[in-house]
Copies of this chain bind each other. A is one copy, B any other.
Amino acid sequence: MKHATIIGSGLVGSLWAIYLNKAGYKVSLLERRGDMRKQNLSAGKSINLAISYRGWKALDAVGVGDIIRKTAIPMYGRTVHSIDGKTSFQAYGINNQAIYSVSRGEINARLMDIAESSGMTELYFDSHCTGVDIDKNMSYFEHNSNGIKFEIKSDVIFAADGAFSSVRYNSMQKHDRFSYSQNYIEDGYKEILLPSNSDGSHKLDKNSLHIWPRGRFMLIALPNPEGSFTCTLFMPFDNHKYCFNNLKTKHDIIALFREMFADFYELMPEIADTWKDHPTSSLAIIRCFPWHYNKTVLMGDAAHATVPFYGQGMNAGFEDCTVMFGLMEQYGDDWNACFEAYEKIRKPNGDAVQDLSLQNYLIMRDKVNDPDFILQQKVEKRIHELYPDQYLPLYSMVSFSDIEYHTALEQGKKQDADMRDFIEKHQITPEMTEIAIDEIIHKALNKEILV
């Protein structure tokens, strides 16, 4: 029986085990941490995530989507909280398209369960990888507590061991001509749990992603099934008026929330007391190439860790599985050909999802408040509604399609320029009625092709 080693039983590693089982592979799935199904989640990772089209596609292909859907909360758009406490809603798509807030731990646990229940995946916890012998397809581990060392030889090795991948660090980085970068952005983040009302209901509309955009920093909130919201404050570590290093006392924290997030502060006056429940964490973009040597390959964050601002980290990692599986069907056991095709296809997409993520930080923290952006988004969405076959806004390409990320990025740039021209040319203003805008669109779209 063919045998694969997967290093890392996180979201991508666990899903990939299910795929490999389906393809007839026996899988050894090794995890540095303990069994998360028996313990609390580790710190430093956000406890909920947004699944969008690519994620569902990868889950549905192995029949896991419906299990996850049971606890997923649709978010149909952004609720933008202005500094004066007013809110406005910006739909993400048309026809009730949504991204879905899910619990990271819940998905991960279900994926492990399914992999294990196949009888073809063996899970090893508390076992950290000390290196891979790339020439021999041998991976080496040490048990965290008893220090016992062991090795696993297999036909192929998948490293899905995250942004700080030990396989990449121990066995690829020193390889001649391995390009690598880890770039921390200026900003960090801190999670804040906004509890439910006493009756278990949500304190904010649960069907949207809430944003308090404040230019150089922002607060966001995603709903959890049990009534709470996981909120995240993103801001620079230092060198700015509003930055983490200026939040030294409870007084500083309260002052920030009173001044900048007054409506949120009303919902959570205990904010300063819970401040230390979560660490302040950093954010990095990690790029590397190649993604494989011989029969050892990187997947997910190990290959292309990104900042979280497009909600595409997990979706991109799951799409790695979709693409890899397609290539396995094409190349069979010729792993070298498979991995070469995989990295050739996925590297530009990994780069693009990182560029898109950085770009979306500016949108979320600043532009969603900008009348020009709001108008442009409105016009784009309306064109998309009226002529869905002719126009797909960037957000829809990324979140509601599986158009390659790099195509979406390029196309998005072009569309952005075209749309500015369109609005200027037709002198569209925020005051214009919807009927008037529709008329302009119909007239234009019948004569000219926008994209």
Residues in chain A within 8 A of chain B (CB atoms): 164, 169, 173-174, 176-184, 237, 282
Q: Is the CB of A179 within 8 A of B174?
A: no
Q: Is the CB of A184 within 8 A of B174?
A: no
Residues from chain B with a CB closer than 8 A to the CB of A237 are: 177
Q: Is the CB of B178 within 8 A of A181?
A: no
- Kindly provide the distance from the CB of A32 to the nearest chain B CB, expressed in whole angstroms: 14
- Kindly provide the distance from the CB of A177 to the nearest chain B CB, expressed in whole angstroms: 4
Q: Is the CB of B182 within 8 A of A179?
A: yes
Known: A169-B174, A176-B184, A181-B183. 12 other contacts (CB 8 A): A164-B174, A169-B173, A173-B182, A177-B184, A177-B237, A177-B282, A178-B184, A179-B181, A179-B184, A180-B180, A180-B182, A181-B182
A181 CA to B181 CA, complexed, in Å: 4
Q: Quick one: which of B176, B180, B184, B282 contacts A282, CB cutoff 8 A?
A: B176
- Kindly provide the distance from the CB of A19 to the nearest chain B CB, expressed in whole angstroms: 31
Residues from chain B with a CB closer than 8 A to the CB of A164 are: 174
Residues from chain B with a CB closer than 8 A to the CB of A169 are: 173-174
A203 CA to B169 CA, complexed, in Å: 47
18 contacts between A and B (CB under 8 A): A164-B174, A169-B173, A173-B182, A176-B184, A176-B282, A177-B184, A177-B237, A177-B282, A178-B182, A178-B184, A179-B181, A179-B182, A179-B183, A180-B180, A180-B182, A181-B181, A181-B182, A181-B183
Query: Closest 7 CB pairs between A and B?
Result: A181-B181, A177-B184, A177-B282, A180-B182, A179-B183, A176-B282, A179-B184
Residues from chain B with a CB closer than 8 A to the CB of A282 are: 176-177
